[in-house]
Amino acid sequence: MEASKLISFFEEDLCIFHLRSRKKISALTEIVHHLALQKRISDERFILDMLKNRENLGSTGLGNGVAFPHGRSLAIKELTVLFARSAAGVDFEALDGKPTHVFFLILAPSDKGSETYLAILSELIGLIQKPAKLKALNETVDFPSLVGIFEGKDD
């Protein structure tokens, strides 16, 4: 999947450029509430419970300031990707113990296989391996600049 194709999964309405929460559960709650406000989920509680369970399996905060909360739920109709950024950082219990600044949330419907979100996860994780892209993600404050990161040249 090309980076420019990857951006097609993102929508301006599903970006939070100034996440307020500083702790893991409150950050997930804020993100899920945003999805509900945008009418992308049928029930906040189901999604939040699923994401909490996923974190209990092992933190999705992979380190380098980036987390990838993800999973499948009956409460979501179609593959949904949300971007969130916190300038101050969130204590997301990341694998390297450092604050998390960038979040990519990926939700897939239960009736679809895990491959629907694994491919996107894989591409996003590949993207953040590039230092310039990671730096830009940490600094992005609007949708056009986020699109530019995906469409711009590699390092």
Residues designated as active site: 70
Out of 62, 79, 136, 147, point to the residue binding other proteins (CB under 8 A).
62
User: Alpha-carbon distance 148 to 155, whole Å?
Assistant: 14
Among 4, 53, 88, 132, binds other proteins (CB under 8 A): 53
CB-CB neighbours of 2 under 10 Å: 10
Work out whether 118 is an interface residue with other proteins (CB under 8 A): yes
Whole-number minimum distance, CB 68 to other proteins, in Å? 8
Q: How far is the CB of 36 from other proteins (least distance, A)?
A: 13
Cα 27 to Cα 6: distance, rounded to the nearest angstrom: 24
4 vs 122 by CB, closer to other proteins: 122
Contact 150, 141 (CB under 8 A): no
Rounded Cα–Cα distance for residues 150 and 3 (Å): 5
| Phi and psi angles of residue 84, each rounded to the nearest 5 degrees, phi first | -140, 150
| x-or-dash string of contact with other proteins, 82-101, rule CB under 8 A | -------------x------
Strand partners, 82: 105
- Which of 39, 56, 144, 154 touches other proteins (CB under 8 A)? 56
Other C-beta atoms closer than 10 Å to the C-beta of 53 total 10
49 forms part of the interface with other proteins (CB under 8 A) = yes
What residues make contact with other proteins under the rule CB under 8 A? 42-43, 45-46, 49-50, 53-54, 56-60, 62-63, 71-75, 77, 95, 110-111, 114, 118, 121-122, 125
